Amino acid sequence: MTLKNILIWTGSIVVTFILLFFAYKLTNNPVKTDFQEINKIRASDQTKWSRENKNILIEYSDIQCPACKGFYDVLKTFEASSSPDFAITQKTTLVFRHFPLYQIHKNAFSAGYSAEAAGNQNKFWEMVNILYDKQTEWSALSNPKDYFIKVAKSLKLDTEKFQKDIDSKEVKDKVQSDLTEGESVGVNSTPTFFLNGQKVDVNSFDEFKNLLKSL
């Protein structure tokens, strides 16, 4: 064997060991599931249900996302005092944070801005309710702004202020901040839930409900 062949053979072995080492490191690093850094309620957060903050359920959601609508509809069923699941709302604080999947949902950012603009007039959840309920009506619009203004009128908002707030830096920064934070903790789909700082793997509505009832 020539010196050149020996060097090539030795180099190949070294490269192989390096690749195996990094493959081992990647497969043996534990997946992080505890994210206490986001388990705090900020003044800018949109919240409902319990005010005690004993159990904090954070949802990263895209208002144009059909799956998010499905889970939102389930969450709403808890809120009727006659619901067998009403107790969930008495011991859990629900926090809504924006995670617009803008790559596939062209109106997701605009919907988030509209919700926050309504929130500036204390109608965040009312706006979100309507946008989810009427999701199929505005999702395909080339420019849904006029639609959102009509919704604002139906909620008896100050529409002049609403329109200004939609385009305001404050509102846009809020939605972007939520998105950036979600990305930093590994959110890549919606809805994604964190319960008391722990990422929740949700496989079905019933499994999700039972988890919350167990608190």
Contact 93, 47 (CB under 8 A): yes
Q: May I ask the CATH architecture of the domain 36-213? A: 3-Layer(aba) Sandwich (3.40)
H or E segment and range at residue 102: none
* Tens digits of residue pLDDT in 194-211: 999 999 998 899 999 999
* Tens digits of residue pLDDT in 32-62: 678 999 999 999 999 999 999 999 999 999 9
- In degrees and rounded to multiples of 5, residue 57 shows phi and psi of -105, 110
Q: How far is CA 26 from the centre of its chain?
A: 27
- What is the 8-class DSSP label of residue 201? -
Mean pLDDT of 136-165: 98
Global confidence as pTM: 0.84
Give me the residue spans of the domains in the chain: 1-30, 36-213
Contact 128, 61 (CB under 8 A): no
